[in-house]
């Protein structure tokens, strides 16, 4: 199983420079997905975080994790995801274990704790090579266009 | 597992997700009104019960679980424990 960036763009609403998944390398529909993000040293945020000592901001690791969670949602509720609903990150409990540097490749693995049509809870691990750099449990809400119109 | 053990375990799981001690979780307290449980937290409670008891709670039941007693009743039904 391999999903390229075009396939990912058909699922996620985010676009560069705020798209933090390059490819999806493993999919167990409704159970888990594994995605990758190569951290090009030319990425803009490295210039300011921090000058002379570039590390990936934790907030962006969270974003990469959340986007992986949405890919998992797509594999679980494709009939909803294909309508391009709005997604809202509603909570996250994250632990950072190690810094992430330019030229690293983030490996993001999301597991379904509980996903339903209107949202989900996912557990996500971020690794560089075999080293865990962050873990999280996040929840997100899914608002379909139909529900928006009803408001 | 008997009915009493199940009740205690469900209470423990729900209290853990909400973030309060089990002895401060009244069986008939309304999750949303009394304990500030929103729909996202309800999903997490449901998932925690599923993982603990190795059951699947149908999606349509989630919004119906408004109290600890209702969570216990549903879990008993799914495990066929009286």
CATH code, domain with A54: 3.10.129.10
How many Å from the N-terminal Cα to the C-terminal Cα in chain A?
39
Nearest Cα neighbor of A121 from A101, A138, A102 is A138
Query: Which of B13, B14, B44 is the best mutation test for A, with the most CBs of A within 10 A?
Result: B44
**Tens of pLDDT along chain A (151 residues)?**
799 999 999 999 999 999 999 999 999 999 999 999 999 999 999 999 999 999 999 999 999 999 999 999 999 999 999 999 999 999 999 999 999 999 999 999 999 999 999 999 999 999 999 999 999 999 999 999 776 666 5
**ipTM value:** 0.90
Token pair of A148, please? 């928006």
Q: What CATH class is the domain B3-79?
A: mainly alpha
Distance of CA A93 to the CA centre of its chain: 14
Residue of B nearest to A140 (CA): B40
Q: Domain span at residue A38?
A: 5-150
How many domains does the structure of chain A reveal? 1
Partner residue facing A118 (CB), from B39, B44, B46: B39
How many Å from the N-terminal Cα to the C-terminal Cα in chain B?
11
């Amino acid at each position: 199983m391999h999903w390229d960036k075009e396939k990912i763009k058909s699922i996620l609403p985010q676009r560069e420079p705020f798209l933090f998944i390059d490819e999806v390398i493993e999919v167990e529909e409704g159970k888990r997905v594994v995605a990758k993000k190569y951290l090009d040293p030319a990425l803009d945020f490295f210039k300011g975080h921090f000058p002379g000592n570039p590390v990936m901001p934790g907030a962006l690791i969270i974003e990469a994790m959340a986007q992986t969670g949405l890919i998992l949602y797509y594999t679980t509720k494709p009939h909803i995801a294909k309508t391009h609903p709005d997604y809202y990150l509603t909570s996250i409990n994250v632990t950072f274990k190690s810094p992430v540097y330019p030229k690293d490749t983030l490996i993001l693995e999301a597991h379904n704790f509980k996903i339903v049509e209107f949202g989900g809870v996912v557990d996500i691990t971020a690794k560089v090579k075999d080293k865990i750099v962050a873990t999280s449990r996040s929840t997100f809400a899914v608002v379909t266009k139909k529900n928006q119109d009803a408001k | 597992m008997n009915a009493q053990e199940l009740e205690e375990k469900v209470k423990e799981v729900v209290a853990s997700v909400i973030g309060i001690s089990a002895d401060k979780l009244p069986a008939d307290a309304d999750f949303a009104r009394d304990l500030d449980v929103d729909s996202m937290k309800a999903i997490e409670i449901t998932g925690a019960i599923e993982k603990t008891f190795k059951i699947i709670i149908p999606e349509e039941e989630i919004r119906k679980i408004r109290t600890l007693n209702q969570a216990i009743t549903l879990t008993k039904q799914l495990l066929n424990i009286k």
